[in-house]
Amino acid sequence: MLDRRTFVAAGLAAAASCATAAPVARPVAKKHLLILGGTGFLGPHQVRCALARGHRVTVFNRGRSGKGMFGPDVEELVGDRNGDLSALQGRGFDAVIDESASQSSAPEWVQRSTELLRERTEQYLFVSTRSVYLDTAAVPMTTAAPVVTRENSPVPEGRPLGYGHAKAYAEKAAHAAMPGRVTVVRPGLIIGPEDDTDRFTWWPVRIARGGEMMAPGDGSDHVQNIDVRDLAEFQLRLVEDRTFGVFNAVGPDGGQTFRRFLERIRAGVGGNAEFTWVDVDFLLERGLQPYGRELPGFRPMRGSTAGFGRFDLSREIAAGLTFRPTETTARDTLAWWNTLPAERTAAIKTGLGAERERELLAAWRARAGR
Ligand SMILES: NC(=O)c1ccc[n+]([C@@H]2O[C@H](COP(=O)([O-])OP(=O)(O)OC[C@H]3O[C@@H](n4cnc5c(N)ncnc54)[C@H](OP(=O)(O)O)[C@@H]3O)[C@@H](O)[C@H]2O)c1
């Protein structure tokens, strides 16, 4: 079993430091940042980015997923947001980046940590999610779209809050505890080196393998993701500039078609992959689910998800959001993937198996009479 520390260390060479990509040339006031989390997927990128920009970093987590991974440059506090915040008692920080509250208990976690820290920090940045939106039907989507509540999207009696509800109520808890001093960032799918979910990674891996491959839809559906390093940089800029408010975090602005997305991945990783576009309804009839294991990161742009890949990011860009080219994300992700042990790369967690892909393509050809 590959532990988290080894997994991340394997990617360091492939994951360029954010300092090289950040187009910010002006001097920055050095801050002492508390990162709640810090050792998952986004966390190490956020920590490295902050260190590269000269900030001082303390992380708080249970010490399970990456104890000691940063060495002596980072102070590690161990506790549990489910009840043990004692390591934070009496401590002060210039800003807090909360990237660990994603469970159904997120509202209570945020309530406790903001109550404890509000007198001893200037800014609380909460990492939320695109899943807070009631739907993504609007084109373009902006932060003005309605968010889920218990009223507009009832939670069955006795059931824990789902992910979108938990994040939405956690946002509210942060605003209530620290009015005017909260920054909320709502990322879409976070992609890039060190992602253990393989939801984006599958595409560069499959495309690099080459040959005919199944591509969902007719190529016109839009897609917006966020490179983990772009997200880390954006969040750091929001903290450095003391920017408050609510922001989405996907890219590029307005989205790109799935056709362009796959072509850019191919340009990034090379190879001779040829895309056979297969009708979405044909795929759904055969049990593939949008955003499911066999169709990672893909949603048809229609009905309640018409705007899922079509966010207008003018406000976010004005606040400092930048985007790496998809080619770069794909190339770096594949380079990192190729450093992992064979036992891990043999067990990719998403995407179509080779046999299933062949069957689908054959059935599609038969149906199309080709
Ligand atoms: N990944 C995506 O595509 C995506 C998309 C939108 C939004 N987001 C949001 O982005 C944030 C970061 O995501 P991620 O994928 O990087 O998360 P992750 O890999 O699950 O990392 C979670 C972090 O929280 C810590 N943690 C977990 N339970 C804890 C507890 N009870 N007490 C204290 N610390 C605890 C973990 O360390 P220990 O295990 O050592 O405690 C780890 O450092 C999350 O809030 C997520 O909801 C993610």
pLDDT tens by residue, 302-319: 999 999 999 999 999 999
Q: Is 5 or 260 the better-scoring residue by pLDDT? A: 260
Confidence of residue 366 (pLDDT cuts 50, 70, 90): very high
CA separation (Å) from 246 to 97, 145, 183? Answer: 14, 12, 6
**55 token code pair:** 């900030």
Q: How far apart are CA 1 and CA 19, in angstroms?
A: 32
For the residues 123-147, what does the mean pLDDT come to? 98
**Which mutation among 70, 99, 299 tests ligand 1's pocket best, with the greatest number of atoms within 8 A of CB?**
99
Query: Which range, of 17-21, 94-98, 212-216, 291-295, averages the lowest pLDDT?
Result: 17-21
Please give the helix or strand (H or E) that residue 284 lies within, else none: helix 280-285
pLDDT at 18 over 90: no
**320 token code pair:** 């400092």
pLDDT at 2 over 70: no
Report the nearest-CA residue for atom 21 of ligand 1: 40
Report the nearest-CA residue for atom 35 of ligand 1: 61
Confidence of residue 8 (pLDDT cuts 50, 70, 90): low
What's the chain's Rg over C-alpha atoms? Answer: 21
Q: What CATH number has the domain bearing residue 343?
A: 3.40.50.720
Q: Establish whether residue 271 lines the binding site of ligand 1, counting it when its CB lies within 6 angstroms of any ligand atom.
A: no
Query: Which range, of 15-19, 24-28, 177-181, averages the lowest pLDDT?
Result: 15-19
pLDDT at 3 over 90: no
Overall pTM surpassing 0.85 (yes/no): yes
Q: Establish whether residue 190 lines the binding site of ligand 1, counting it when its CB lies within 6 angstroms of any ligand atom.
A: yes
Q: Establish whether residue 129 lines the binding site of ligand 1, counting it when its CB lies within 6 angstroms of any ligand atom.
A: yes
Q: Which atom in ligand 1 lies closest to the alpha carbon of residue 43?
A: 16
**360 token code pair:** 């689908």
Query: Which range, of 1-10, 83-92, 189-198, 228-237, averages the lowest pLDDT?
Result: 1-10
pLDDT tens by residue, 258-286: 999 999 999 999 999 999 999 999 999 99
How many angstroms does the Cα of residue 100 sit away from the middle of ligand 1?
4
Q: How far apart are CA 136 and CA 190, in angstroms?
A: 18
Report the nearest-CA residue for atom 18 of ligand 1: 40
Q: In the prediction, which pLDDT does 9 show?
A: 54
pLDDT tens by residue, 56-82: 999 999 999 999 999 999 999 999 999
Question: Smallest Cα–Cα separation from 205: which of 330, 291, 321?
Answer: 330
How many angstroms does the Cα of residue 239 sit away from the middle of ligand 1?
19
pLDDT at 165 over 60: yes
Confidence of residue 326 (pLDDT cuts 50, 70, 90): very high
Could you give the number of structural domains in the chain? Answer: 1
**Which mutation among 100, 228, 229, 291 tests ligand 1's pocket best, with the greatest number of atoms within 8 A of CB?**
100
Q: Establish whether residue 42 lines the binding site of ligand 1, counting it when its CB lies within 6 angstroms of any ligand atom.
A: yes
Q: Establish whether residue 256 lines the binding site of ligand 1, counting it when its CB lies within 6 angstroms of any ligand atom.
A: no
Q: In the prediction, which pLDDT does 369 show?
A: 79
Q: Establish whether residue 301 lines the binding site of ligand 1, counting it when its CB lies within 6 angstroms of any ligand atom.
A: no
pLDDT at 26 over 90: no
Q: How far apart are CA 126 and CA 246, in angstroms?
A: 10
pLDDT at 5 over 70: no
Q: In the prediction, which pLDDT does 346 show?
A: 97
Q: Which atom in ligand 1 lies closest to the alpha carbon of residue 81?
A: 32
Question: Smallest Cα–Cα separation from 126: which of 95, 105, 149, 92?
Answer: 95
Q: In the prediction, which pLDDT does 14 show?
A: 37
Q: Establish whether residue 65 lines the binding site of ligand 1, counting it when its CB lies within 6 angstroms of any ligand atom.
A: yes
For the residues 32-48, what does the mean pLDDT come to? 98
Provide the residue range defining the domain that includes 346.
Answer: 4-368
Q: How many CA atoms lie within 13 A of 201 on its CB side?
A: 22
pLDDT at 251 over 50: yes
Q: Which residues contact 114 (CB under 8 A, 6 or more apart)?
A: 124, 173, 174, 177, 178
Q: In the prediction, which pLDDT does 84 show?
A: 97
pLDDT tens by residue, 340-354: 999 999 999 999 999
